[in-house]
Amino acid sequence: MNSSSSKVKFDIDKSGNYCDGELEFDGRIITVTDGKAKKEFDVNECDELIIRGDIGCGYLEYKPKGTENNDDNLLVCNFTMACINDVGEFSKVVNHYILTGELTEVSTEQNHVCPKCGRHYMHGMDMCIFCADKAHFYKRVLSVAKPYKKSIIIAMIFIVLAEAANAVVPIINGHVLDDYLYSGNKGESVIHGILMLCALMVSAKVLGQIFQVLGRRSVAVYSSGLSHSLRVMVYDKIQRISLKNLSKKTGGDLMGRVTDDTEEVKDFISEEVLYALYQLSLFIVIVAILCSISVPLTLLVLIPIPIGLYIYYMFRVTVHIRYMKQWRCERRGNSVLRDIVEGIRVVKLFGAEQREISKFDAICNQLSKICISNERLWAVTFPYVTFFIGIGEFLVIFFGGRMALDGEITAGQLLQFTLFLAYLYGPIDWFSKLPQKLGRVNTSLLKIFEILDEKEDMVYESNDIVPTMKDKIEFKDVRFGYTAYEPVLKDINLTVNKGEMIGIVGHSGVGKSTLINLIMRLYDVDAGTICIDGQDIRDFSPDNYRQKLAIVFQQTFLFAGTIYDNIAYAKPNATAEEIINAARIANAHSFIMKLPDGYNTLIGENAHNLSGGEKQRISIARAVLRDPEILILDEATSALDTETEYLIQQAMSRLVKGRTTFAIAHRLSTLKDANRLIVIEDGRVVESGSHTELVKQGGIYARLVAAQHQTARLKN
């Protein structure tokens, strides 16, 4: 649940003691109240608010205008890490106001504490497992099952008919006892009558089995369709979630939600919901039949049931907590397993197989203990409740036997009553296990709808406007941070003309890749705009905008499939001639043709059968095939040897002509063809110019060049 407010809390006063502090911003004054003192800061005299982290805590600083040294900053408040998200959002709003004069509200969407119950959300989730509206989730799942209602109705009819056929057996047993065995009649007519009733019983059983088979087939039809619908819904939403939100979750967790959790929900809806309706109907019918035989005996059976069901109800929270704990452990195990599989070469290289086995064994052992504990709860506790509910059966034998002896009911009626009790306790036993099943499915439902209800923090236009770059790309006062309290890019102002190649230089972690991510619109800016020919890139639909882009990443990713398919991924309708031409430009054609199957060579998972340089060249060919207007090179030649790098540089020189290119490179020699270099430091563009100009300035770029020359001499 997200909320907005002009106020946020902090929890440490200036003396270092816990307090119930509050920050408030009204568009001019920041008011700080910690329960003992009240301070005010004029935003019009402020350059920016700065958050600094410490061990287990942080502090918010006010930087007065005109000051260069951070020692002149004023302390606004202290806080623990529990408040860092809210204080960070507060500082972002104030800094945005300082830059633009636009007043917005403080968003607490990153809050990880439930506003209703005060419990912390589970890691990777933005929803409280205790306060979530589970009834609403069930309604939504049932709405997904609507297209399969015909199969559901048919399955329900067949299942009811199957049980109706089986229910004939106790009635026939009663007639055999009263009409033939206890009637005193003898002769062939009695034998024939018993044989006829036995044949009827066999026929009813056979018919019941046929109906049951037909019912199961109908269940299979709609359960498969429901499983497909749920998986596609979750997978589709994962594709549309921004990287900012996806980064909060592990790959194993997301895979589990698409597969395991949807399967859990599918099984519950296809099996338990259907049988819940059936069991409820059966319970009502059986109670009516029992009442027709003997009302007093029926009351003896029913009296313990509400008490037992109430006990089950009281255990629902305990069950839910236990299964959430089990899910957390399963998720950790999946994450470890995924890491081991993906990093198996590193594991083997460092001889860490036994260490990883021990790590996975420890998690599996913990999961085993949790599962045993959960099952023990049912195995030890709940049979007592089941026994209490079923105590009515013993009362029936005692009081029913006396009633039969007194002639109030016949022996056949008593037999019918006791046989029908089995049908009555079937639904009761089913409902008694429902909390355990609900505990599992509620956990899965929560995880599924937490994904489906994930707020999309990026605005996606649905128009058909296709960007065509005729003039320039402009960055205007761009600010961005992956978290509110840690801005990565600050006040980026940059103009890139069409056809220019811009080299992006700087130390690791200064924001080079972040700048590229914003150009690709994998994230939206927190403040400012990125425009193509004066139009904000947020005005274009992502599909239309990204059709004009291509990128070669530093970490090459190839899909499992053929080399041909991997190159064609950029343009699925490309001809073979276009694909081969792209491979030639990327200097990949020659090594591809040396492979046994050429372009039809299968690439395994992570392309282990190709070298780093070969994978990189396929990735470059994919970008060439895209024929983009905006080209992004993220250390595109980092995996190539010197000779191949030279050939690729020649190809790149031809490729970038007429295209606006952004190139990141730590090896500065690869940027010799750039029209202009920009140097990023501390999230800002601090230097801009050609290689010669920047070297003459003697600044950061000159020091980077000198350091690389020194490193090269040491290697030689």
pLDDT digits (tens, 9 = 90+) for 13-25: 877 888 888 998 8
Between CA 399 and CA 393 the distance in angstroms is 10
Confidence at residue 580, expressed as pLDDT on a 0 to 100 scale? 92
pLDDT digits (tens, 9 = 90+) for 364-402: 888 888 888 877 776 776 666 767 766 777 777 777 777
Please state the separation of Cα 244 from the chain's center in Å: 12
Q: What is the mean pLDDT of residues 122-143?
A: 71
Confidence at residue 651, expressed as pLDDT on a 0 to 100 scale? 65
688 half-sphere exposure, CB direction, 13 A CA radius: 10
Confidence at residue 1, expressed as pLDDT on a 0 to 100 scale? 33
Confidence at residue 568, expressed as pLDDT on a 0 to 100 scale? 92
Instruction: Categorize the per-residue pLDDT at 333 as very low, low, confident or very high, splitting at 50, 70 and 90.
Output: confident
Confidence at residue 5, expressed as pLDDT on a 0 to 100 scale? 47
- Residues whose CB is less than 8 angstroms from the CB of residue 204 and which lie 6 or more positions away in sequence, other chains included: 165, 166, 168, 169, 172
Query: Which range has highest mean pLDDT (138-142, 393-397, 676-680, 689-693)?
Result: 676-680
H-helix or E-strand containing 664?
A: strand 660-664
Examine the pLDDT at 527 and tell me if it is beyond 60: yes
Most distant CA pair in the chain, distance: 124
Between CA 487 and CA 683 the distance in angstroms is 8
Examine the pLDDT at 675 and tell me if it is beyond 90: no
Locate 588 and state its tokens: 């990949």
Instruction: Categorize the per-residue pLDDT at 467 as very low, low, confident or very high, splitting at 50, 70 and 90.
Output: confident
Examine the pLDDT at 157 and tell me if it is beyond 90: no
Instruction: Categorize the per-residue pLDDT at 461 as very low, low, confident or very high, splitting at 50, 70 and 90.
Output: low
Percent of the chain with pLDDT over 70: 82
Examine the pLDDT at 441 and tell me if it is beyond 90: no
Confidence at residue 4, expressed as pLDDT on a 0 to 100 scale? 43
Confidence at residue 504, expressed as pLDDT on a 0 to 100 scale? 92
Examine the pLDDT at 452 and tell me if it is beyond 50: yes
Between CA 355 and CA 279 the distance in angstroms is 50
pLDDT digits (tens, 9 = 90+) for 242-300: 777 777 676 667 777 888 888 888 777 777 776 777 777 777 777 887 787 788 888 88
| Parts of the chain belonging to CATH 3.40.50.300 | 461-546+660-716
3-state secondary structure of 671: helix
| Parts of the chain belonging to CATH 1.20.1560.10 | 134-452
Examine the pLDDT at 715 and tell me if it is beyond 70: no
Cα-Cα-Cα-Cα torsion 135, 138, 144, 148, nearest 10 degrees, comes to -120
Asked if 137 and 446 touch (Cβ cutoff 8 Å), the reply is yes
Q: Which one-letter amino acid corresponds to residue 701?
A: Y
pLDDT digits (tens, 9 = 90+) for 540-565: 887 788 888 888 887 778 888 899 99
Pairing of strands 501-505, 106-107: unpaired
pLDDT digits (tens, 9 = 90+) for 216-250: 787 777 777 887 888 888 888 887 777 777 776 76
Confidence at residue 561, expressed as pLDDT on a 0 to 100 scale? 86
**With DSSP H G I counted as helix, E B as strand and the rest as coil, what are the percentages for the chain, rounded to 5?**
60, 15, 25
| Parts of the chain belonging to CATH 2.30.29.30 | 4-107
At the top level of CATH, the class of 4-107 is mainly beta
Cα-Cα-Cα-Cα torsion 334, 338, 341, 344, nearest 10 degrees, comes to -110
The more confident residue out of 680 and 637 is 680
Asked if 238 and 255 touch (Cβ cutoff 8 Å), the reply is no
pTM of this prediction?
0.66
Least confident of 125-129, 415-419, 544-548: 125-129
Between CA 88 and CA 110 the distance in angstroms is 10
Specify the fold of 461-546+660-716. Answer: Rossmann fold (3.40.50)
Examine the pLDDT at 123 and tell me if it is beyond 90: no
Confidence at residue 494, expressed as pLDDT on a 0 to 100 scale? 92
224 half-sphere exposure, CB direction, 13 A CA radius: 6
Handedness of CA 399, 404, 406, 407 (dihedral sign): positive
Mean pLDDT of the residues in the chain: 78
Confidence at residue 2, expressed as pLDDT on a 0 to 100 scale? 38
- Architecture of 134-452 per CATH? Up-down Bundle (1.20)
pLDDT digits (tens, 9 = 90+) for 301-328: 777 777 776 776 677 667 667 777 777 7
Q: What is the mean pLDDT of residues 406-427?
A: 73
Between CA 205 and CA 211 the distance in angstroms is 10
Q: What is the mean pLDDT of residues 400-406?
A: 77
pLDDT digits (tens, 9 = 90+) for 605-651: 667 778 777 888 888 888 888 888 888 888 766 555 666 666 667 66
* In the block, residue with structure tokens 């905006």: 630
Examine the pLDDT at 29 and tell me if it is beyond 50: yes
pLDDT digits (tens, 9 = 90+) for 349-365: 777 888 888 888 888 88
Least confident of 177-191, 399-413, 670-684: 177-191
Instruction: Categorize the per-residue pLDDT at 473 as very low, low, confident or very high, splitting at 50, 70 and 90.
Output: very high
Instruction: Categorize the per-residue pLDDT at 495 as very low, low, confident or very high, splitting at 50, 70 and 90.
Output: very high
Least confident of 170-174, 208-212, 288-292, 705-709: 170-174
* In the block, residue with structure tokens 């809050």: 111
Examine the pLDDT at 469 and tell me if it is beyond 70: yes
Percent of the chain with pLDDT over 90: 6
Confidence at residue 711, expressed as pLDDT on a 0 to 100 scale? 66
Confidence at residue 55, expressed as pLDDT on a 0 to 100 scale? 75
Q: What is the mean pLDDT of residues 199-211?
A: 80
Confidence at residue 579, expressed as pLDDT on a 0 to 100 scale? 92
